Structure 1
Amino acid sequence: MPQSPKNIALRVIAMEAAAIRDLGGLINDHFDEAIELLQNCKGRVVLSGIGKSSLIAQKIVATFNSTGTPSIFMHAADALHGDLGIVQENDVVIMVSKSGNSPEIKALIPLIKNFGNRLIAISGNNQSLLALQADVFLDTTVQQEACPNNLAPTTSTTAQLVMGDALAVCLMELKGFRDGDFAKFHPGGTLGKKLYLRVADVCAHNEKPSVFADQTLKEVIVEITKRRLGVTAVVDEQHNLTGIITDGDLRRMLEKNTDIDHIAAKDIMTRAPKSIVAEELAVTALDMMRKHSITQLAVTNGTKYSGIIHIHDLLKEGLI
């Protein structure tokens, strides 16, 4: 009787997880040699492969490029029909192949060697032509594919992918590649915004509601209503931030007081309010709002009040 889909999925995951654990035992001095070659590369890293391995090679290229290692993909079959011109004098070539003996790979190896480029092999066959001819061989041997016929590349391509990730992360750490560097290569989408969007960028077009400590309750209400942010800052004559009043503060005050004629801003403001510096990342503002269960923060430049950032601003930017 066939296994249930859930059990098949669990079996596949277990087999691939076991293969990745075994991959750790294949990391040796050859990995250090590969990293040294890539670190000293004066050109680009050219990734090549055929079939499913070519798709893994493309993903490794994407990871390298996004983490500061200039890379390009060259399909092994296309290389034999004109695309070999992609490989330049100072490039290092990485070939990805399970068998290491695919006809296109075997034909491409001597051409790369004749160019004088250094060659790194990622393969599951240490006796293949690719393994024997490469300057450095990275072993990604797996015991069995997750495919029930042990044919479709599944476990083997996962091992190749993880080896590529190991190379990329190692190069990142050795280069001291930081989140600021990462942001330069990921300016779009939520990821990019989390890495570069600053509070000043988000609140620049907001109103800047403010009152002085001695202004009346009516003036406070008018300011909050007029600026439509549900809050106003309380500032001194030098525009230093001294407090904040939210519409919630107003409601709580009205519940407690019947005589409101003589209430001023200083009587209901929150002193030493939660605030954030304009040059902080917008995602930091979001973290503060979540931590303190609030929906807006006063923005400062030094001690000077410079505006309000609201959770709706962060929602519009796609950070939530």
Structure 2
Amino acid sequence: MNQESRIISVAKETIVTESKAILHLADLVDEEFAQAVDYIYKSDGRVIITGIGKSANIATKIVATLNSTGTPAIFMHAADAIHGDLGTILQSDTVICISKSGNTPEIKVLVPLIKTRGNKLIAITSNKESFLGQQADYVLHAYVEKEACPNNLAPTTSTTAQLVIGDALAMCLLDIRGFSSKDFAKFHPGGSLGKKLYLRVSDLTSLNEQPQVHPDTDVRRVIVEISEKMLGVTAVVKDDKIVGIITDGDLRRMLTKVENFKGLTAKDIMTKNPKKINNDAMAIEAMELMDKHGITQILAEKNGKYCGVVHIHNLTKEGII
């Protein structure tokens, strides 16, 4: 077997091994899992998630997921916890401890300290019979038969399983809280995901010029309007209502068909009944319309009156595309 074939074989074997382990996790979700979720939901405190080694890396990801979906969470490294960071934990907080074996020295020191403080302890572990599993109030079973590592040493399948259990926990809490897309946008105001949920067409049209001409406007003036407003398009407007659109493409097509355009007006070359969108619509809807119809600009209106233009460059700049 050559090296390329070997690489492909190892990659596929890794994916299959981990996917089988993840699928088995569904059979391990039980009443204890539901009780743990319910306890966190009813708690007035935060979720403190701790771990050591690669489990600590997984803990930080779960913390991020919980925070972004409405459950306040903080990461506390298990090694730092026993050297002063226990002060992070408040009386009303719930502690989640992540450990594959559940028997590491740090865990054996940390767990009794948490129990002494009276905080509820939730374990995410592969070994329910471990020290951590026996001491925890709730155990979320993240059992894996073997690591994807051929030596069964490097944390691979086990950390994937921990992450999946964390995602399941977060999604259950999201569902119970009725966490909506509007709530999600509040926690992601600066990211592209959040912008897709809160950015409106009006936020984009306000950034642009508002090119417009009357149906009887001379073609020369139409060319000037499109050039000056630098959007590659102008609306044809009568009594504040959109009656047509003229693009750079329309002008080029006109030049190939007409040798003398003296006397031509906007209404002679415009496209009637152009695609439009409400100025109060979500920006993502504008993107979907442009993609559907293969256009790079779309006109906006409100209460039947022309409001401006959304250009595909606006969507790109905002990170929506």
State the 1:259 CA deviation. 5.7
Aligned equivalent of 2:11 = 9
Amino acid across the alignment from 1:128: S
1:194 aligns with 2:230: no
Q: Which moved more, 1:1-10 or 1:88-97?
A: 1-10
Gaps of 5+ in 1: none
Greater than 3 Å deviation, 4+ residue runs: 253-262
Give the letter aligned to residue 205 of structure 1. L
- Once the two structures are superposed, what CA deviation does each residue of 1:170-212 show, in whole Å capped at 9, x if it has no partner? 1112212122222222223433333333222223232111111
Aligned position for 1:38: 40
Counterpart AA for 2:201:
V
Q: Which moved more, 1:147-156 or 1:157-166?
A: 147-156
Aligned runs of 1:213-292 on 2, under 5 Å?
A: 213-237=215-239, 239-258=240-259, 260-292=261-293
Q: Deviations over 1:238-285 (max 9, x none)?
A: x12222111222333343445633332223222221112222232322
TM-score normalised by structure 1 residue count:
0.93
Candidates 62, 70, 86, aligned match of 2:64: 62
Which is worse superposed, 305-314 or 66-75? 305-314
Query: Counterpart of 2:168?
Result: 166
1:310 is aligned to 2:311: yes
User: Pick from 117, 120, 139: which aligns with 2:119?
Assistant: 117
The residue type paired with residue 182 of structure 1 is F
Q: Secondary structure at the match of 2:165?
A: helix
- Pick from 16, 22, 25 the counterpart of residue 23 of structure 1: 25
Instruction: Tell me the residue number matched to 1:130.
Output: 132
Task: Give the Cα separation in 2 of the matches to 1:139 and 1:208.
Answer: 59
Counterpart CA distance in 2 for 1:9 and 1:215 is 64
- Could you list the per-position Cα deviations for residues 90-110 of structure 1 after superposition, in whole angstroms to 9, with x for gaps in the alignment? 111111111111122122222
What is the match of residue 92 of structure 1? 94
Instruction: Give the Cα–Cα distance (whole angstroms) in 1 for the partners of residues 291 and 191 of structure 2.
Output: 22
Aligned-residue offset at 1:130: 1.3
1:251, 1:146 → 2: CA distance?
60
Is residue 2:139 matched to residue 1:143?
Answer: no
Q: How many residues align?
A: 319
- TM superposition shift of 1:17: 0.7
Which has the higher mean CA deviation after the structures are superposed, 116-125 or 2-11? 2-11
Q: Distance in 2 between matches of 1:56 and 1:197?
A: 32
RMSD: 1.9
Q: In structure 2, give the amino acid aligned to 1:272.
A: N
Runs of 5+ unmatched residues, structure 2: none
8 A Cα contact 2:205 2:307, kept in partner? no
Q: Aligned partners of 2:319 and 2:94: how far apart in 1? A: 39
Q: Distance in 2 between matches of 1:91 and 1:316?
A: 41
Deviations 1:77-123 (A, max 9, x none): 21111111111011111111111111221222222122221111111
Describe the superposition over 1:44-73 as per-residue Cα deviations: whole angstroms up to 9, x where unpaired.
Answer: 000011111111111110111111110001
Higher mean C-alpha displacement, 211-220 vs 167-176: 211-220
- Residue deviations 1:115-136, cap 9 Å, x none? 2211111111111121112111
Q: Distance in 1 between matches of 2:249 and 2:298?
A: 14
Tell me the alpha carbon deviations over residues 285-310 of structure 1, each in whole angstroms, 9 at most, x when there is no partner.
Answer: 22211111111111212211111111
Moved more, 217-226 or 135-144: 217-226
Which letter maps to 2:195?
K
Identity across the alignment (%) = 56
Q: Which amino acid aligns with 2:171?
A: V
CA offsets per residue over residues 140-186 of structure 1, 9 Å max, x none? 11111111121221111111110000011111122121222222222
**Aligned-partner Cα distance in 2 for 1:84–1:159:** 27
Using the size of structure 2 for normalisation, the TM-score is 0.93
